[in-house]
Structure 1
Amino acid sequence: MIKPAARFCRIPVAPPQVLWRKPPVLALAAVPGTALGRLGEPSTASPAAWVAAGAAVRKLHDAPLPPWPGQSLDEIASRLDGECEWLVTNGVLPADLVTRNRRVAEAALRPWTPVFTHGDLRLTHVFVDGGEVTGVIDWSEANRGDALYDLAILTLGHEERLGDVVAGYGADVDLDVIRAWWSLRSLVAVRWLIENDFDTFSPGCEVDVLRARL
C-alpha cells in the first residue's frame, strides 16, 4: 500500500499498524477482523458493527481538519456533467435514468462545512470484529470534504443499513443529501469501473443503485 506518509500520520481513526516507512511507501500490518461487507452482496456484519462504523466515522469528522483540501463544488459538478454526457452519448445507460439521477444528485451540490473525511469509505475499507471497528484502510483519498459523502459511500448499495450507521453517528443528517451522493457517486463511477473491467451492472451494484432512484 502506497500513501503519502505525512497524511497517514494524521489519521485520527483506526489506522492499520505501520511496520516500516520509507516515504512514500508504507508497510502495514494485516488488519484483524473482516470487512464490513461488499457492494452487491448481503452484509453478514451485525447491526452493532454498522452502528460502530457510524461512531467511528463521527470520531473522524470531529477530528481537526487536515491541511490539504478536497475537490471544490465546481470541480465535482463539472465531473458529474461530463460523466453524465458520456453515459448518454455512448449509450451506456438510458437517458431517462441518467437525467433522473442527475436531478437527484443536485441536492449534494450545496455548500457544506468541511470535515476530515476518509474520501473512499467503501465497505471493504472498514474492518470489524463482532460489534467493534478493528481498522480502516486506504486513506489515500482523505481530505477536507462533506461529512455526508463518507456516510453515503459507507452505505452505498446497503440502504437498509443506513439507520444503524446514522444511529452510531449520533447526529442529525439530511437523508436526501446522502441519497443524492449515492446517485452522484454511481454516475461518476460507472465509466471508470467499465474501463477497469468491473461489472457495474451486477445485482446490487452501481447501476442498481441508480435504478432504485426511479
Structure 2
Amino acid sequence: MAEIEVVVAHQACATLRVGDVFLKIDGDQTRTDVEVEAMALAPIPTPEILWRKPPVLALAAVRGTALGRLGEPSQASSRAWAAAGAAVRQLHDAPLPPWHGRSVDELASELDVECEWLVSTGVLPADLVARNRQIAEAALRPWTPVFTHGDLQLSHVFVDGDEVTGVIDWSEASRGDPLFDLAILTLGQEEHLGDVVAGYGTDVDVDVIRAWWSLRSLLAIRWLVEHGFDPAKPGCEIDVLRARM
C-alpha cells in the first residue's frame, strides 16, 4: 500500500498524497468550485481531475518537478523560467473567467488593516512596514483585468526540462492584474525576473511587479503566522520586505 504523505495541512484545508494521487480536503466548497472551473477554462496544462466527492477533490500528480520553493535557490534553467513566463502570457490572453477578484479599493483597505496589525503587534518594525507600504502603493492603480491564477507561487508551476507540464492550485483564480501573477511567480526569485519577462513577451512595468512583492508580503504575513507557517525563514516574505530597504 502506498504511504500517505501530508503535503500541507492547516485550519483552512489539507492536501494529502497517496501514490500518484493528491487528495485536497476543503470545507469551503466555493474554493473547490473555483478550482475545478478554472482548470477547465485554463488554456495551459493543469492536473487531471480523477474524481470529486465533497469535501475531497482527487487530482492526478503532474509530471516533472516544481520550478522551486520560496526561500531556496531554484535549480530550473533560464529556459524553464522563460517557458513559465510564456505559459502565464497564454493564460492572460485567454477569455476572462465569469467571476471577479479583489478590487483596488478592497486591496487598499486590506493593506491598511494588515500594516496596522504588523506594527501594533511588533511583528515588524514600523519603518520596514512604512517603506514597503510606500512601495506597495504603485500596485494600487487601475488595470485591465485578465484571467489570473491568483496564487502562482513557483512551487505551483511544474516543468520537465524546459517544458511547463502543469500548473496546480487554482482556488484563487479570478479576473485580476496580470502583473500580480508575474510578481507571485518571481517572489524571492528576483534573479529570474528577466527570464520570466522575456518569456512573457511584452512590455512589463517591473516597478509595479516590485510593488506587488511588497504588497503581497505585507498582506500574507499574518495569515502565514496564524496557519503555522514561518514568513521569517531565509528568503521568504520578511526577507523580501527587508530587501526593499
Match of 2:185 among 154, 166, 178: 154
The corresponding residue for 1:128 is: 159
Q: In structure 2, the residue corresponding to 1:144 is in which secondary structure?
A: strand
* Residue equivalent to 2:201: 170
Unaligned runs of 5+ in 1: none
TM-score by length of 1: 0.97
TM-score, normalised by the number of residues in structure 2:
0.85
Say if 1:68 and 1:147 are closer, same or farther in 2 by CA, change over 3 A. Answer: same
Deviations 1:32-81 (A, max 9, x none): 10010001000001111100000000000000000000001111000011
- The one-letter code of the counterpart of 1:54 is G
From the superposition, tell whether residues 116 and 40 of structure 1 become closer, same or farther in structure 2 (CA, over 3 Å): same
Give 1:15 shift: 0.9
Q: 1:11 to 1:23 in 2, by over 3 A?
A: farther
Equivalent residue for 1:19?
Answer: 50
**Alpha-carbon distance, 1:23 to partner:** 6.3
Q: Which residue of 157, 166, 190 maps to 2:221?
A: 190
Count of residues in correspondence between the two structures: 214
- Give matches, 1:1-214, under 5 Å: 1=24, 3-4=32-33, 5-22=36-53, 25-214=56-245
Q: Deviations over 1:144-173 (max 9, x none)?
A: 000000000000000000000000000000
Deviation at 1:143, TM superposition (A): 0.2
Percentage identity across paired residues of the two chains: 75
Q: Distance in 1 between matches of 2:225 and 2:52?
A: 34
The letter for the 2-side match of 1:143 is S
User: C-alpha deviations, 1:118-142, integer Å up to 9, x for none?
Assistant: 0000011000011010000000000
Once residues 24 and 60 of structure 1 are traced to their aligned partners in structure 2, the CA distance between those partners, rounded to angstroms, is 28
Q: Give the strand-richer structure, 1 or 2.
A: 2
Q: CA RMSD in A?
A: 1.2
- Letter of the structure 2 residue corresponding to residue 48 of structure 1: R
What is the letter of the counterpart of residue 156 of structure 1?
Answer: L
Residues in 2 aligned to 1:50 and 1:88: alpha-carbon distance in whole angstroms: 36
